């Protein structure tokens, strides 16, 4: 199985590597994504697709991995920054896209057309001024259950695959939401939220939140990602802010109860930002810092190497099969 890792950058479009990050290319064709695009988000079907849907500052594009070509999916999102986009793991036609200003759009035809969802997001917030949707998380088992995180605005939950929403942020120490993850522990869902003031968890799908104290000098957390095929192992990016000048990748081996330094090598140039995993090769993991350093593990996160290439400001990172049918 050949895997391709994709990185979305803030200013140099999307890059890809088919040799485990040793060399990188920026895809270019006659119909193309603008080479200096800000690529905020990347998504694809969790299994079986070599195509990647890309959320940018100029709308939504699809990269067809097998054919190595771009297509533009024209919509009202062309005039917005699509900060996060997610494809349902249960239905390849259902997609959700979140923007700045904070709004949520839903597609039932694979991204060809979009309808804005009626949801009461805040219009203003501190620090960034205009809120933005930072993550969309489909539950991997329940096709109707979805969560959305807003920076700055908290967490929202849907029980009908993203058609209607309820805010679920009771007990949060901060509504500055960066990342979400869900696992199963003893058959029970456990939801995590990474914020600017700490790591939070919920045992009731987000109705009530609790602060998880960690032994770290930085309260800023960005992404939380379970290891592919494992609910007990999770990775958490932690640093001194956006973009920051230092940080650590943390790992838990016990469902998020305790955390340790995962051991990214060398001196980090900024806060670790993204982690990419895939179930078809669960021991292959990529991580990056906000300012473009890239790291690879081939043993499930036990050891890491720093890759030679750096890509400026990275905002999204995913890992995909290279040779499966396009979707």
Domain boundaries, the chain: 3-321
Torsion angle (degrees, nearest 10) of CA 138, 38, 280, 278 = -60
Local structure of residue 170 (DSSP, 8 states):
B
Angle CA(147)–CA(153)–CA(155) in degrees, nearest 5? Answer: 20
Nearest to 140, CA basis, from 192, 85, 91, 182: 182
Angle CA(323)–CA(43)–CA(290) in degrees, nearest 5? Answer: 110
Answer whether residue 212 shows pLDDT above 90.
yes
Task: Tell me the pLDDT band of 325, cut-offs 50, 70 and 90.
Answer: very low
List 91's β-bridge partners, or say none. Answer: none
Pairing type for strands 3-9 and 294-297 reads unpaired
**Spatial distance between the Cα atoms of 327 and 138, rounded to a whole number of angstroms:** 19
Taking the model in full, what pTM does it have?
0.95
What is the predicted pLDDT for the residue at 56? 96
Q: Are 273 and 264 in contact (CB under 8 A)?
A: no
Torsion angle (degrees, nearest 10) of CA 297, 303, 308, 314 = 60
What pLDDT, in 10s, does the model give residues 110-158? 999 999 999 999 888 888 889 999 999 999 999 999 999 999 999 999 9
What is the predicted pLDDT for the residue at 126? 81
What is the predicted pLDDT for the residue at 33? 83
**Spatial distance between the Cα atoms of 209 and 76, rounded to a whole number of angstroms:** 35
* Domain 3-321 in this protein, CATH class: mainly beta
List 98's β-bridge partners, or say none. Answer: 84, 104
**Spatial distance between the Cα atoms of 123 and 132, rounded to a whole number of angstroms:** 9
Q: What is the end-to-end Cα distance of the chain in Å, rounded?
A: 18
Task: Tell me the pLDDT band of 173, cut-offs 50, 70 and 90.
Answer: very high
Distances (CA, A) of 34 to 11, 111, 315: 10, 19, 16
- φ, ψ at 241 (rounded to 5°): 125, 180
């Amino acid at each position: 199985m050949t895997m391709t890792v994709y990185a979305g950058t803030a200013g140099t479009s999307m890059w890809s590597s088919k040799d485990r990050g040793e060399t990188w290319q920026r895809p270019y064709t006659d119909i193309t994504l603008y080479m200096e695009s800000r690529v905020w988000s990347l998504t694809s079907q969790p299994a079986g697709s070599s195509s990647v849907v890309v959320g940018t500052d100029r709308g939504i594009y699809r990269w067809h991995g097998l054919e190595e070509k771009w297509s533009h999916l024209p919509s009202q999102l062309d005039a917005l920054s699509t900060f996060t986009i997610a494809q349902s793991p249960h239905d390849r036609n259902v997609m959700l896209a979140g923007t700045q200003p904070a709004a949520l759009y839903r597609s039932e035809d694979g991204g060809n057309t979009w309808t804005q969802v009626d949801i009461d997001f805040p219009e203003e917030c501190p620090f960034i001024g205009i809120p933005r949707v930072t993550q969309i998380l489909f539950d991997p088992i329940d096709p109707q259950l979805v969560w959305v995180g807003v920076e700055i605005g908290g967490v929202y939950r849907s029980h009908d695959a993203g058609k209607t929403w309820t805010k679920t942020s009771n007990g949060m120490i901060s509504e500055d939401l960066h990342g979400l993850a869900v696992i199963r522990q003893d058959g029970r869902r456990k939801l995590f939220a990474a914020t600017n003031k700490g790591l939070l968890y919920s045992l009731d799908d987000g109705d009530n939140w609790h602060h998880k104290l960690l032994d770290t000098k930085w309260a800023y957390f960005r992404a939380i990602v379970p290891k592919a095929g494992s609910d007990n192992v999770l990775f958490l990016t932690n640093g001194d802010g956006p973009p920051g000048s230092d940080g650590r990748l943390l790992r838990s081996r016990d469902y998020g109860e305790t955390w340790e330094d995962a051991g990214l090598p060398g001196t980090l140039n900024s806060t670790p930002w993204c982690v990419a995993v895939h179930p078809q090769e669960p021991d292959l993991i990529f991580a990056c810092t906000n300012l473009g350093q890239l790291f690879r593990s081939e043993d499930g996160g036990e050891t890491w190497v720093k890759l030679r290439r750096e890509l400026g400001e990275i905002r999204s990172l995913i890992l995909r099969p290279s040779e499966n049918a396009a979707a």
